[in-house]
Amino acid sequence: MKEIKDQVKEFWNKAYGDNTPVAIDKKYLIPSNTFDKDIEEFSKNSSHILDYGCGITFNLYIAYETNKNLVEALGIDPSTNAVAFAEGSARLSNFNTVHYLVGDIDELKKLPDNKYDFVICSNVLDCIDETSRNETVTELYRVLKKDGYFLLKVNFYLDKKTASQYKLFPLDEHNYSQDGLFRISFYKDDYWVSLFTKLGLVLYRSDSFSRREGLPADRIFIFKK
């Protein structure tokens, strides 16, 4: 039986599909929602930015447009399809300081201590198993520079009854499967906050963001080291 992390990797690689890289029209990089505005705000004065589990988001493209003095913006994702699109699009768009790598926790462990002024981790920690999550949290803390900011976004919270409407079925109190495979963990806000405050980060602000109309709001937590 495949480990959960391998199941997750296969799921997202398939979900992202085989997209052809494109030159990004800058009109799509104008922040229009809470999440994009948070990316813009904390990218402004950051020389080094990390987006762990970046997928095919435009987070680092927005960061590039926000900060022309950016030294390095690095995206890491286990999906080869996601990275092929993101890296290819960055090159076509001449986002010279934005780069992407295929990888997971092992790639994260290779990064230097205290390097990044701003670290982004969006809809990742609630989609991996607890052992991987705890290891990832430790590594994200390690690479964040003193006085740097960490942006965590997790999915909306669902109770058991509501989760079933999304075809998610409980494996235990917090973990849910879809099509027989682990898919997501649902915890309330205090759990996510405590993962980082117990390491010494301070909760700077909380926000929320709905990815589309009618969908419950994802939760955003911004911490300072």
**What integer best gives the mean pLDDT of the chain?**
92
Alpha-carbon span 168 to 176, nearest angstrom: 6
- Average pLDDT estimate for 96-103: 97
- Answer whether residue 5 shows pLDDT above 70: no
CA atoms of 208 and 159, how far apart (whole Å): 18
* Contact in structure between 99 and 64 (CB atoms under 8 Å): no
> Domains (ranges, CATH) in the chain?
4-224 (3.40.50.150)
Structure confidence at residue 213 (pLDDT): 85
Residues 6+ apart with CB under 8 A from 108: 52, 76, 136, 139, 140, 143
Which residues is 112 bridged to in the sheet?
A: none
pLDDT tier at 211 (50, 70, 90 boundaries)?
Answer: confident
Average pLDDT score over residue span 80-102: 96
Cα–Cα distances (Å) from 56 to 30, 78, 155, 167, 169, in that order, read 17, 11, 17, 24, 27
Residues in contact with 87: Cβ distance below 8 Å, sequence separation at least 6, in sequence order:
21, 99, 100
Q: What's the pLDDT band for 85 if we cut at 50, 70, 90? A: very high
More confident residue, 40 or 11: 40
Does the reported pTM lie above 0.85? yes
**Are the C-beta atoms of 122 and 207 separated by less than 8 Å?**
no
Q: What mean pLDDT comes out for the span 129-140?
A: 95
**Does residue 4 have a pLDDT over 80?**
no
Q: In this structure, are residues 205 and 32 in contact, taking their beta carbons and an 8 Å threshold?
A: no
- What count of other Cβ atoms lies within 10 Å of the Cβ of residue 86? 30
Give tens-digit pLDDT for 170-208.
999 999 998 888 899 999 999 999 999 999 999 999 999
The residue that leads in pLDDT, 212 or 74, is 74
Over the stretch 139-155, which tens digit does the pLDDT of each residue have? 999 999 999 999 999 99
| Residues 106, 104: Cα–Cα separation, whole Å | 5
